[in-house]
Structure 1
Amino acid sequence: MNIGFFGSSLVSAYWNGAATYYRGIIRALDALGHRVTFYEPDAFDRHAHRDIPDPPWADVVVYPATDPAAVSRLVANAARKADVLVKASGVGVLDSLLEAAVLAYKRPRQTTIFWDVDAPATLARVRNDRRDPFRELIPLYDYVFTYGGGDPVVNGYEEFGARQCVPIYNAHDPETHYPVPAEGRFLADLTLLANRLPDREARIDEFFFRPARELGQQAFLLGGNGWADKPMPPNVRSLGHVYTADHNALNTSADFVLNVAREDMAQVGYSPATRVFEAAAAGACIITDAWKGIELFLEPGEEILVAHDGAEVAELLRTVPREKAQAIGEAARRRVLLDHTYGIRARQIESLLLRKTTSLLVGYA
C-alpha cells in the first residue's frame, strides 16, 4: 500500500515528541512492504534542529505552510497517489484545513485515517466547543487511530460518531533503542526528559523538582526544551534539547529514569509515553507517576516503579538498591522486546487496513 501521511515532523524531534513514534511506526510499515510519503511543514524551527537525514524507509516532503491554497493542492496531489491518507493531530500549522482536505480529496476505495497523538486534548476541545469544525468530520474518517487512551478514548470518539477508533500504542524499535555504555555527561541519580508544557509543569514540579529539593546530595538531570528560565535547585542540571541520537546514552547513564505524564493523559490513563518504551528498551529502571492501566504494559514493582507523588519518588531513590534497579530495568527490557515493538504495532495496523481494503472491494464487486 502507498500511504500519504500528514504529520508534524518525521526528521526532527525539536518540540515534537511524536517524532520517534512516527519513525517507529513508519519504519516498521516499510519493513512489511508498505511505502509512506510523509508530508511535514517547514515550521517552528524544526528543520534547523533535524535529528536524522531523510530516511530510506520513507519519502519526506517538506512544504511551506504559508499558503493555504498551495497546501490544499498538495493534499489533492497526495490523495491521487495514496491508497491510505492519514492526517495526524498536532501538525501545528493549518490543521483544520488539512483535516477537511484529506476528506474532500478522498478517492473511491481509499482509506482515510485521523491519527490522534493527543486524544484527551482533542476530545476535551470538541466537547467544550460545539462549533469546532472537527466535530462534524469525525464520522467521515474510516478510522481514528490514537496514541493511547484505551476504552475512555475509544468511547469518547464513538460518542462523536467515529466509525472505528483503535489505540495504536507507543512501542520501541529494537534497532534504534538498546543498552549502550554510560556516558559521563549524562550520569545522574534521576533523569527526566520532558519538554516544558503548561499542562505538565505542575506535575513535574511535584514528581521531579520536589524530590530534588528533598535529596540535595543526589544528582538530578533534566533534558528538554523550555526550561531555561525555570528556577532550579543546585543539584539539578538542565541539558536543553537532547537529540534522539543521545537518548540511549541518556537512559543508560542514570540510576533511575523518570516518566511524568501530562495532566489529561494521567487522568484518562492507558497512555504510556514513547519514552517509557524507549527507556525500557535501553534497560533503564523507570519510575513513573501513577496512572490507570500501567499494568497492561509493564508490571509495577517488577518491571517499573510507580510513585503517587514526589515524596514517593524520593523514597524510591533512598531505598531501592542499585542492584534491584538494574534487575527491574532488565526485566522491563525483556518485556518490551516481547510485547511492545513497532513491528507488532505495524502488523496490527496492516491487519486493519487490509480488512478495510477487503470490505471496500467486496462493496464495489
Structure 2
Amino acid sequence: MTRPPLRLVVLGLSLSSSWGNGHATTYRALLGAFAERGHAILFLERDVPWYAGHRDLTDPDFCELSFYDDLADLERFRDRIAAADAVVVGSYVPEGVAVGRRVQSWGRGVRAFYDIDTPVTLAKLEAGDHEYLTPDLIRAYDLYLSFTGGPTLRWIEEHHGSPAARQLYCSVDMDAYRAPARAVRWDLSYLGTHSPDRQPTLTRLLLEPARQAPHLRFAVAGPQYPAGIDWPRNVERIEHVAPADHPAFYAASRYTLNVTRADMIRAGYSPSVRLFEAAACGTPILTDRWEGLETVFVPGREILPVDAAGDVLALLEGQPEAERLRVAAGARARVLAAHSAAHRAAELEAHLREAITHNRHVPRDPVRGGTTAGAAMSD
C-alpha cells in the first residue's frame, strides 16, 4: 500500500546561501531527494544580512523557500507549522531556543531537531552554552537527528533524555556532483571555511608539504581566513567556491584534503559533506584520522589517511596513477552505494514515519510538550 506524502516544515540556518557554512549544501541535497519521494516541503530561513548578500539559491524547484525577519514575523507561518506532519529545527538557527519553543507549542505533528553540528552542540551544552538548544528542548523534541553516529546517539538518549536519537549523516546529490573533464590545476586542494581548530592540521598536511615541495601546486578555497597566515607561493587562495562550481574545483585537483574539526574528531563518526562531494566527483581524498572513519570509507582502498607532511608528499609524488584512480573509483562506488542524497532522504522518511507512528500510541505530556514515554522509540 502506498503511504501518503508528508508535509514537512524545516527551519534551518540557511538554504539560500552556502557562504561560510556547510548547512546549505546539506539541506539542498537532502530536501531535493526528499521532494523526489513525493513530499511537500516549506523551508523557513531567518533573513540576515550576511547571507542575504551572498545568496546562490533564491528559487529552489524542490521546496517552497520563505524568509522571516524575527520571532514576531515567524507568527505568519504558525498555521503551516501546526498543520505539518513533521517540523524540523536545525542547529545554529538564530534564536534557536525561542524558535524551538514555538515549534513545540505550535506543532501538532512530529517535532524534530536536526543537528548538523552534533559534537559542537554537545560541547556547548556541557559548557552551559545554550545558544540554540537547551537540555529541556532535547527531551521535548520527539526526534533528534544527528550528524554524528556511533556511541554519541546513546549518549544523547541516556544523558540528555532524547526520546529517540537517530543518525542522519550528510550526503551528496550525485547528479549535481559529476566532475567535468578538466585539466589538472593543483596536486592537492582543500575546500572549507576557516576554523581555528582546523588550521593546525591544514598547516601540517597542506602548507608544510607546499613549503617542502615548491614544484607542486596547491589550493585552499573558502572564506574567513585571517590576514596573518603565511601562505607559501605555490598555494593558490580562493575566497569562495559556490556549490555549482565544486565539481569543477575537485576535477582540477589530483587529490583533495579533508580536515576535521576538533570536536568532531573527539566524537568520531562525523563525516564531512566534503568527503562525499569529492568522492562523487572521482577525486581521491587524503584525510586526518578519526574514530568511525572505517565505517564510511575503507582506509587505504577508498580513502587515504595521513598524519604528517611526509605522508602527504609520499602520495603526491610516489603513488602510481593507476592506484590513485583505483582509490577514487572505490570512494565513488561507496557513495553510490550508501551516501547519496537518495539514500539519506529514504532514511529521513523512515525516521519521521517511525516517530509519527510512535506519537500515535504515546500521548504527549501536556506540561512539557514531549511524550510521556522516556524510552527510545525502538524499545
Instruction: Please list the CA deviations of residues 17-70 of structure 1 after superposition, one character each: whole Å capped at 9, or x if unmatched.
Output: 1211111110111111111110111224223222233111100001223xx322
Q: Is 2:245 aligned against 1:246? A: yes
**How many correspondences in the alignment?**
356
**1:162 match:** 162
In structure 2, the residue matched to 1:88 is: 90
Partners of 2:207 and 2:220 in 1: CA distance: 10
Paired residue for 1:5? 10
> Per-residue displacement from partner, 1:63-116 (whole Å, max 9, x unpaired)?
223xx3223x1453342231111110012x222211222112222xx1000110
Q: What SS does the corresponding residue of 1:250 show, helix, strand or coil?
A: helix
Q: Which deviates more from structure 2 when the two are superposed, residues 124-133 or residues 210-219?
A: 124-133
State the match for 2:259 in structure 1.
Answer: 260
Q: Structure 1 363/294 Cα, relative in aligned 2: closer, same or farther at 3 Å?
A: closer
The answer to whether residue 271 in structure 2 is matched with residue 272 in structure 1 is yes
1:221 and 2:226 equivalent?
Answer: no
- Tell me the secondary structure at the aligned position of residue 192 of structure 1: strand
Cα distance between partner residues in 1 of 2:83 and 2:201? 44
**Match among 43, 46, 68 for residue 48 of structure 2:** 43
What residue is the counterpart of 1:209 in the other structure? 207
- In 2, distance between residues paired with 1:52 and 1:183? 28
Q: Is the 8 A contact 1:119 1:149 kept in 2?
A: no
Task: Determine if the alignment matches structure 1 residue 21 to structure 2 residue 26.
Answer: yes
Q: Distance in 1 between matches of 2:303 and 2:344?
A: 21
The answer to whether residue 364 in structure 2 is matched with residue 329 in structure 1 is no
My pick for the range that moved more, 318-327 or 14-23, is: 318-327
Give the 3 Å change call, closer, same or farther, for CA 311–173 of structure 1 in structure 2: same
Aligned to 1:172: 172
Instruction: Please say which of residues 289-298 and 319-328 is displaced more in the overlay.
Output: 319-328
Structure 1 residue ranges (4+ consecutive) displaced by more than 4 angstroms after TM superposition? 130-133
Task: Pick one of 42, 52, 61 that aligns with 1:56.
Answer: 61
Quick one: distance in 1 between partners of 2:183 and 2:101? 47
Residue 101 of structure 1 aligns with an amino acid whose one-letter code is R
- Asked if 1:152 is matched to 2:155, the reply is no
Structure 2 residue runs without a partner (length 5+): 1-5, 364-379
Mapped pair 1:348 → 2:347: yes
Quick check: 1:112 aligned with 2:111?
yes
Of the structure 1 ranges 350-359 and 150-159, higher mean CA displacement relative to structure 2 is found in 150-159
Distance 2:96 2:183 in 1: 40
What is the CA–CA distance in structure 1 between the aligned matches of 2:339 and 2:224, rounded to whole Å?
30
Query: 345-354 or 242-251, which moves further after superposition?
Result: 345-354
Partner of 1:122: 121
- Deviation at residue 183 of structure 1 after TM alignment: 5.0
Query: 3-state DSSP class of the match of 1:45?
Result: helix
**1:100 correspondence with 2:101:** yes
Given that 1:115 and 1:145 are in contact with CA atoms closer than 8 Å, whether structure 2 keeps it comes out as yes
Residues in 1 aligned to 2:158 and 2:210: alpha-carbon distance in whole angstroms: 42
Larger deviation, residues 283-292 vs 123-132 = 123-132
Stretch of structure 1 that moved more, 279-288 or 319-328: 319-328
Which deviates further from its counterpart, 119-128 or 73-82?
Answer: 73-82
Q: CA RMSD in A?
A: 1.9
Match in the other structure for 2:374 = none
Q: Residues 260-306 of structure 1, C-alpha deviation per residue, up to 9 Å, x if partnerless?
A: 01111112111110010011011011111111111111111111101
Matched residues in 2 for 1:103 and 1:310: separation?
49
- Letter of the structure 1 residue corresponding to residue 106 of structure 2: Y
For 2:179, the aligned partner's letter is P
| CA–CA separation in structure 1 for the residues paired with 2:360 and 2:101 | 25
* Cα deviation, residue 157, structure 1: 4.6
Counterpart-to-counterpart distance in 2, 1:270 and 1:42? 32
Moved more, 8-17 or 174-183: 174-183
For the Cα contact (< 8 Å) 2:179–2:251, is it kept in 1? yes
- Could you say if the C-alpha distance between residues 308 and 16 of structure 1 is closer, same or farther in structure 2, counting changes exceeding 3 Å? same
Partner of residue 285, structure 1: 284
Measured against aligned partners, the alpha-carbon deviations of 1:197-237 in whole angstroms (never above 9, x if no partner) come to: 22222222222212222222110111100126132011100
2: distance between equivalents of 1:136 and 1:281? 39
Whichever residue aligns with residue 286 of structure 1, its letter is: I
- Per the TM alignment, residue 240 of structure 1 is displaced from its structure 2 partner at its CA by 0.6
User: In 2, are the aligned partners of 1:300 and 1:306 still within 8 Å (CA)?
Assistant: yes
- Residue segments in structure 1 that go unaligned for 5+ positions in a row: none
In structure 2, the residue matched to 1:140 is: 140
Q: Choose the corresponding residue for 1:69, options 69, 72, 91.
A: 72
Aligned equivalent of 2:192: 194
Confirm or deny: 8 A CA contact 1:203 1:262 kept in the other structure: no
Percent identity between matched residues is 31
